Amino acid sequence: MNLLSQIGILELSYVVASVTFILGLKMLSNPKTARKGNLIAAFGMGLAILTTILFHRDPDTGEHIKNIGWIIGALLIGTVGGAWVSRIVKMTAMPQMVSFFNGMGGATAALIGMIEFNKLALHGVEGSLLNGHVLVMVLGVFIGSVSFAGSMIAYGKLEGKIKDKALPFQHTINLIMLVVILGLGAFIMLQDAPDMNLFFVLMGLSLVYGVFFVLPIGGADMPVVISLLNSFTGLAAAMGGFLYNNMAMLTGGILVGSAGTILTILMCKAMNRSLLNVVIGSFGGSAKGGSGTSSESGGTYRETNPSDTAIMCAYANQVMIVPGYGLAVAQAQHTCHEFEKMLSNRGVNVIYGIHPVAGRMPGHMNVLLAEADVPYDKLIEADDANPMLANTDVVLVIGANDVVNPAAKDDPSSPIFGMPIIDAEKAKQVIVFKRSMRPGYAGIENRLFFNSNTGMLFGDAKDSLEKLISELKNM
Amino acid sequence: MDNFFQFFIDNRDFIYLIILSIFLGIEVISNVPAILHTPLMSGANAIHGVVIIGAIIVMGHADSNNTLAMILGFIAVLLGTLNVVGGFVVTDRMLEMFKKKDKK
């Protein structure tokens, strides 16, 4: 094959890849086409990787891709490892998995910048370093490192291995660091010759900045942070696109950068918060104050038992199940579906009230319940579920807490004030499945638990549901 | 000022591409329902794995005597592959759940 047709195929494959990325994202925003969209994008990616290995030539020397053995080796290890890890990971651990892979992408982008700058340092440059080429290396290393370090911290937080921590004046420190990093970037570009040591310092500072950026943000906000870091990695990938004049990297990177930013904002909107509010992390800070005051005014709660609950549900007309992270942790989705089917068979209308941010990620509950074959039309989104509550006899709150906390409506001092909730207290009876009276993830006391029409059913969500099922069978 | 204009004129096509891509990215996902936020984020996560191409290029043109570049390049390709493969597989697993219920 001649040179022209090789370059032609390569560039054409990048066009195809770019189109599959756009189509893929578009199809991913519709439940009917989402899975196909993902496969289409994956196909485009595979194609671009293959043609790059086969046909890419160094623009200066015209050499083909070398070190093929090493490349294929790394591709193989990465494919087997990546596929294996993502197959065995539990559904509840999906959010941190996404964060982990995002960090890998960030690290890749940073390493690319690193190696390219190293090349410059070895071969020397003519003229000034103040050009677009060096700029994208500096930005690639900066953004990629922040994304990598931040994603790893987010991963650790969701795994429960890293606690929320903040240095005194953390935000001031972060701001100063950001200025220092950008200044250092400019300083590197103003040198007469490329200085690799300065570049290592740049990378180190960016890594520390990534850690500081995520560390003070509350664990409950991690989904938003991951989405934001996701768009950062997109930008870092786009920097690589500029570096190599590579259209697939450029369009893919910018697309993810902008779509990721919008998605982040949409997620914030679902929680009725602003992005700035999340990043500055007022959530974690004021939550401590909030729980301190309200726990004193706790009052008394009423404990109920499986047998009463089962009877109550069996003779109800309409039951609404509000699932939360507790359901996910207990892996109770199948048991929950079984219970729901038994009730339906007795003529009870059972629906699920799904809060958009229930669980650890938006859409977490939908994925989980879908896994248990719960029919799609039984999942009612919060906005539609709330008007139905007045006609609901029993609400079963299974392992959810903050998303049913009335403080979001009427307590301006509460850190979750303003967040839309599922208004469980409007129903005739509320049963809360919970392991203990401990406050939920945001660390806020929940007034709902002390209402006169609320009964607490303590225990693991799965055990409790199993007890309910056996009670129903004996009825 | 002349430098700026020169830069703008030299990179005009890129600048158009960037602006249009940004709007496209916003447009493409603006109607996504909340239930798909997580899978969409995961899918986008896989797509920025396109950075793997840069890793292949840098590794493919690395001088095999330059140990630092070889090691970093190898790691870059490896981590980039993890991003791509892990990203797409995790997304597919999430969406598999949605598909099952479509059949019923």
pLDDT at A298 over 60: no
Give the model's pLDDT for residue A440.
64
Q: Can you read off the two tokens belonging to residue A441?
A: 């993830």
CB A402 within 8 A of CB A416: yes
Count of A-B CB contacts under 8 Å? 384
Same domain, A266 and A315: no
Same domain, B69 and B102: yes
Q: How many domains does chain B have?
A: 2
pLDDT at A117 over 90: yes
Give the model's pLDDT for residue A201.
97
Contact A52 B38 (CB under 8 A): no
Determine the Cα–Cα distance for residues A360 and A98; give it in Å rounded to an integer: 12
Give the model's pLDDT for residue B101.
47
CB A45 within 8 A of CB B84: yes
Give the model's pLDDT for residue A180.
96
CATH of the domain at A458: 3.40.50.1220
Same domain, B27 and B37: no
Q: Closest partner residue to B21 among A248, A254, A263, by Cβ? A: A254
DSSP code of A456? E
Q: Which residues of A65-89 are buried (b: 16+ CB within 10 A; e: fewer)?
A: bebeebbeebbeebbeebbebbeeb
As a three-state string, the secondary structure of A133-158 is: HHHHHHHHHHHHHHHHHHHHHHHHHH
Q: Which residues pair with A395 in a beta bridge?
A: A320, A430
Give the model's pLDDT for residue A44.
97
| A31–chain B Cβ distance below 8 A for any pair | yes
Which has more pLDDT, B4 or A250? A250
Determine the Cα–Cα distance for residues A97 and A109; give it in Å rounded to an integer: 19
* One-character DSSP codes across A59-79: TTT-PBP--HHHHHHHHHHHH
Same domain, A266 and A322: no
**Residues 10-69, chain B: which have Cβ within 8 Å of A?**
11, 14, 17-18, 21-26, 28-62, 64, 66, 68-69
Q: Closest partner residue to B47 among A89, A227, A255, by Cβ? A: A255
Sort out which chain B residues have CB atoms less than 8 A from A256's CB and list them: 25, 44-45, 47-48
A373 burial class (0-12, 13-18, 19+ CB within 10 angstroms)? middle
pLDDT at A318 over 60: yes
* One-character DSSP codes across A373-404: T--GGGEEEHHHHHHHGGG-SEEEEES--GGG
Which has more pLDDT, A416 or B62? B62
Mean pLDDT of A295-317: 81
Same domain, A236 and A343: no
Same domain, B53 and B103: yes
Q: Which residues of A222-238 are buried (b: 16+ CB within 10 A; e: fewer)?
A: bbbbbbbbbbbbbbbbb
Question: What is the pLDDT of chain A when averaged over all its residues?
Answer: 87
Same domain, A256 and A331: no
Give the model's pLDDT for residue B89.
95
Q: How many Å lie between the alpha carbon of A234 and the closest alpha carbon of chain B?
A: 5
Look up the ipTM and state it: 0.93
Same domain, B17 and B39: no
Which has more pLDDT, A452 or A141? A141
Give the model's pLDDT for residue A442.
63
> Which range of residues forms the domain containing residue B23?
1-31
Give me the amino acid identity at A357.
Answer: V
Phi-psi region of A373 (alpha: psi -120 to 50; beta: other; left: phi over 0): left
pLDDT grade for A59, boundaries at 50, 70 and 90 = confident
Give the model's pLDDT for residue A358.
81
Instruction: Count how many Cα atoms sit within 13 Å of the Cα of residue A16 in the half-sphere of its side chain.
Output: 17
Radius of gyration from C-alpha coordinates of chain A: 26
**A246 in a domain, yes or no?**
yes
Same domain, A309 and A418: yes
Same domain, A374 and A444: yes
Phi, psi of A354 (to 5 degrees): -105, 115
Q: Closest partner residue to B77 among A75, A122, A132, by Cβ? A: A75
Same domain, B78 and B55: yes
Same domain, B27 and B42: no
Domain's final residue, options A211, A246, A280: A280
Give the model's pLDDT for residue A126.
79
Same domain, B87 and B46: yes
| B71–chain A Cβ distance below 8 A for any pair | no
pLDDT at A369 over 70: yes
Same domain, A321 and A385: yes
Same domain, A192 and A340: no
Catalytic residues of A: 402
**A171 in a domain, yes or no?**
yes
Give me the amino acid identity at A331.
Answer: Q
Contact A251 B102 (CB under 8 A): no
Give the model's pLDDT for residue A46.
97
Determine the Cα–Cα distance for residues A143 and A135; give it in Å rounded to an integer: 12
Furthest-apart CA atoms within chain A: distance in Å: 87
**A11 in a domain, yes or no?**
no
Give the model's pLDDT for residue A292.
36
pLDDT grade for A281, boundaries at 50, 70 and 90 = low
Give the model's pLDDT for residue A204.
97
Q: Can you read off the two tokens belonging to residue A230?
A: 């996701």
Which has more pLDDT, A275 or A210? A210
Contact A362 B30 (CB under 8 A): no
Nearest to B46 by CA among B104, B94, B13, B6: B94
> Which range of residues forms the domain containing residue A345?
301-473
**A122 in a domain, yes or no?**
yes
Same domain, B17 and B43: no
CB A21 within 8 A of CB A259: no
Q: Which of B78, B93, B100 to mutate to test the interface with A (most CBs of A within 10 A)?
A: B78
pLDDT at A288 over 50: no
Same domain, A246 and A311: no
pLDDT at A290 over 50: no
Q: Which of A127-136, A364-373, B67-76 has the highest mean pLDDT?
A: B67-76
Determine the Cα–Cα distance for residues A412 and A462; give it in Å rounded to an integer: 35
pLDDT grade for A31, boundaries at 50, 70 and 90 = confident
Same domain, A311 and A402: yes
Determine the Cα–Cα distance for residues B18 and A192; give it in Å rounded to an integer: 31
Same domain, B61 and B99: yes
Mean pLDDT of A68-96: 91
Strands A318-323, A454-458: pairing kind: unpaired
CB A134 within 8 A of CB A120: yes
Phi-psi region of A281 (alpha: psi -120 to 50; beta: other; left: phi over 0): left
Instruction: Count how many Cα atoms sit within 13 Å of the Cα of residue B84 in the half-sphere of its side chain.
Output: 34
Same domain, A231 and A348: no
Same domain, B57 and B89: yes
Mean pLDDT of A88-113: 91
Q: How many domains does chain A have?
A: 2
Q: Which residues pair with A431 in a beta bridge?
A: A396, A455
Task: List the single range of A131-135, A192-196, A296-300 with lowest mean pLDDT.
Answer: A296-300
Same domain, A121 and A269: yes
Mean pLDDT of A257-279: 84
Mean pLDDT of A286-315: 67
Low-confidence ranges of chain B (pLDDT < 70): 98-104
Q: Closest partner residue to B37 among A35, A39, A267, by Cβ? A: A267
Q: Can you read off the two tokens belonging to residue A183?
A: 């200044």
Contact B82 A104 (CB under 8 A): yes
Same domain, B7 and B48: no
Domain's final residue, options A280, A310, A328: A280
Domain's final residue, options A280, A315, A341: A280
As a three-state string, the secondary structure of chain B is: CHHHHHHHHHCHHHHHHHHHHHHHHHHHHCCCCHHHHHHHHHHHHHHHHHHHHHHHHHHHCCCCCCHHHHHHHHHHHHHHHHHHHHHHHHHHHHHHHHHHHHHC
Contact A262 B84 (CB under 8 A): no
Same domain, B45 and B91: yes
